Structure 1
Amino acid sequence: MFGALAEFERNLIQERTQAGLAAARARGKKGGRPKALDSKKRVMLKRLYDERDLSIQEICDLMKISKTTLYSYLREQDASIPDK
């Protein structure tokens, strides 16, 4: 009996959460953590990476990001380029 009530309450909470997120999106709000770099800096990051003049660590130190973030941005840019 308690399990059924807990499941029902959990479903209500999920519905309210989803409704709140949808309402926020409708108002133009975007959830989640902000990006570390703006679009200009991401383009510069890709150019520095492609030129191969600096090491990965030097690029990360210059941009003040981690290696994981660097590779995440590179994957993101590769995914946005359509296949020819």
Structure 2
Amino acid sequence: MIVHYIHILVGFNEHTSSFMRIGYARVSTFDQNLDLQLNALQNVGCEKIFQEKVSGTSKERPQLQMMIAHLRSGDEVVVWKLDRLGRSLTHLIELVNQFSDKGVSFSSVNDKIDTSTSSGKLIFHLFCSLAEYERNIIRERTMAGLEVARLKGKLGGKPKGLTEEAKNTARIAESLHKEGYGVKMIAAQLNKSRTTVYKYLAYRGVNIN
């Protein structure tokens, strides 16, 4: 992944009191080109652009973290498209709320969103509502699945040759993991050992770091 940022404004002084429009550009692989995003961000007046090449699902984004550390109240973060910033809708909302807490606005060139305007704030709040709706749906399905699993009793077995009931438990374990539950909590919810939960998650293709 690329671990550097570029200064567009010659002679920039990080201690200056003026507010900045700061860009963030990302592509998923090293063979992809950042030029399209960089040109767009420069055209809208970004004075500083952080850039990196890393998968959208990766939690390791050193340049994103560096950008956040550099933000000051009054600054504006700009991206080419929303999917360049967040790993998911939930992650995007977390980041924009983090910007807001710092007194920093956010805008997306292609999506015509600018949280410094009333209409931009309205659109973003709609995103927040959709994310909450999605979380509630997942939670309801997860709890319904847990109830079915409890009624059917303890489910065990190894990943290979799982019964249909065990496969259902594996799906429930995956849903709980997506909700942010740790392996220990999932094991307690399912009344399983942590070893079994790890096997279920591995069966569902979930990588545990």
Q: TM-score category by the smaller chain?
A: 0.3 to 0.5
**Greater RCO, 1 or 2 (C-alpha within 8 Å, sep 6+):** 1
Q: TM-score, normalised by structure 2?
A: 0.19
- Whose strand fraction is larger, Structure 1's or Structure 2's? 2
